[in-house]
Chains A and B, each alone.
Chain A
Amino acid sequence: MAEHVIIKTVSRLMIPFIQLFSLYVIAHGELGPGGGFQGGVILGASFILYAMVFGLEEGRKRISRKASDFFSPTGLFIYAVIGIFCILGGGLYLEYDRLPLIGDEILASQLGIYGIEIGVGITVSAVMTTLFFEMARRDDD
C-alpha cells in the first residue's frame, strides 16, 4: 500500500485516538461496558492497522517481536501474581478484598479488579498483534 495517501493519512490520524479509546475501555471496565478483553483487542487492532497500512516491516519497528513476545506472558503473570498477593494477605486465591497493605476491603477489591483488567488487556493486545504478524504472509517465506 505504498501509494495510498488517503489510507495512510487517515490511519495516522486515527491510531492515537484508537489507542486512547482502548486505554479508556480498559480503565473504565468497572463503570461501563468493556474491560480488559475488549480494550486489549482494540489496542491490538491499532497495531494491526498500522502494520496493514505501512507494511509488516515498518510495523515491527513500532512493536518489535521482542516486545510482543515479552508482553504476551506479562499480562497473565500480573493476573496470577495478584492472586498470590491475595493469599499473602490471608485470603483465598484471587480474593481481592484481602490484598495486603490497602486496608479498606472495597478499595482493595476495586484495585484488584483494575489490576487483573490491565493484565488481561496486556496479554490480549500482545497476543492479537502476534497472531497477525505471524499469520500474514511475507513474500520471502
Chain B
Amino acid sequence: MVIDFILLFFVVVCAVASVSMKDLLGSVMILGAYSLLMALLWTRYNSVDVAFTEAAVGAGITTVLLIAALSRTFRHEEDPEKPGQSIFPWLTRIARLIPLGVVMLTGAVLIYGTLDMPNFSDPAAPANLHVAPYYIEKSVPETGSINFVTAILASYRGYDTLGEVTVIFTAGICVLILLRRRFHG
C-alpha cells in the first residue's frame, strides 16, 4: 500500500517536471522514467502483460523515437511571449490561468466520477462478471494457451490484433512516404 503511494507520488512528480521543463531532451528523458514507474504500478496490479508493453514501448521505443524526432528540430522550448510585448499584460496573465482552471475542473469531475466505481479487485464488479469468468474457465481447454491474456489477444480477439498490426504497418508506410529521401534523377 505504501509503495503504491510512493510510486504514484513519483509519477505525478515526473508528469509535472516533464511539462514544466524548457529543455525538451530532459523532458523526453523524464517521460521515459514516467513510463517505467507506470510499468512498476501495472506490475503491482498484477497486469504483467500491460507492464511489459509499457516498459518496452513507453520507456524504450517512445523515448528513442521522440529523441529522433527532436534531432530534426530544436532542443530548447521558446518562451511563448516575452514580457512587455503584450498591450494588456494583466489580460495575458489572466488568460494563462484559464487552462489551469479547465484542468482543475476536469480533474474534479473525474474524481467525482470515481466515487461510483466499485472497489479495486471487487469480485462483484460488473467488469469481473461479464466475459472475464468465461475466459478464465474456458481459455485453456479451448485455445491451449496458458496465459489467457495471449489467448484473448491472439484467439478470441484475433481480428482486433490483426487490425493493430495493420495500424503499425500503416504508420511505418506513412513515415516512409513523409520522410524517406527521394531519389534524385
Contacts and interface: CB of A to CB of B under 8 A. Distances in A.
Interface of A: 25, 29-35, 37-38, 41-42, 44-45, 48, 52, 69, 72-73, 75-76, 79-80, 83, 93-94, 96, 106-107, 109-110, 112-113, 116-117, 119-120, 123-124, 126-128, 130-132, 134-137, 141
Interface string B42-76: 00000011011100110011001100110110000
A106 B155 CA distance: 12
A15 B61 CA distance: 15
Top-10 shortest CB links A-B: A127-B172, A33-B48, A94-B158, A106-B144, A135-B68, A136-B68, A137-B71, A41-B56, A113-B154, A134-B179
Contacts, number: 140
B172 A42 contact: no
Name A's interface SS.
helix
Interface residues of B, number: 45
27 contacts: A29-B154, A30-B150, A31-B146, A33-B147, A35-B49, A35-B150, A35-B154, A38-B52, A38-B53, A38-B57, A41-B53, A41-B60, A41-B61, A76-B165, A80-B162, A94-B158, A107-B144, A109-B144, A116-B154, A116-B161, A119-B165, A120-B165, A124-B165, A127-B168, A127-B169, A134-B180, A137-B71
Interface string B131-145: 000000000011111
Contacts of A119: 165
Name B's interface SS.
helix
A42 B56 contact: yes
Contacts of B161: 79, 116, 120
Contacts of B127: none
B175 A131 contact: yes
B102 to A, nearest CB: 32
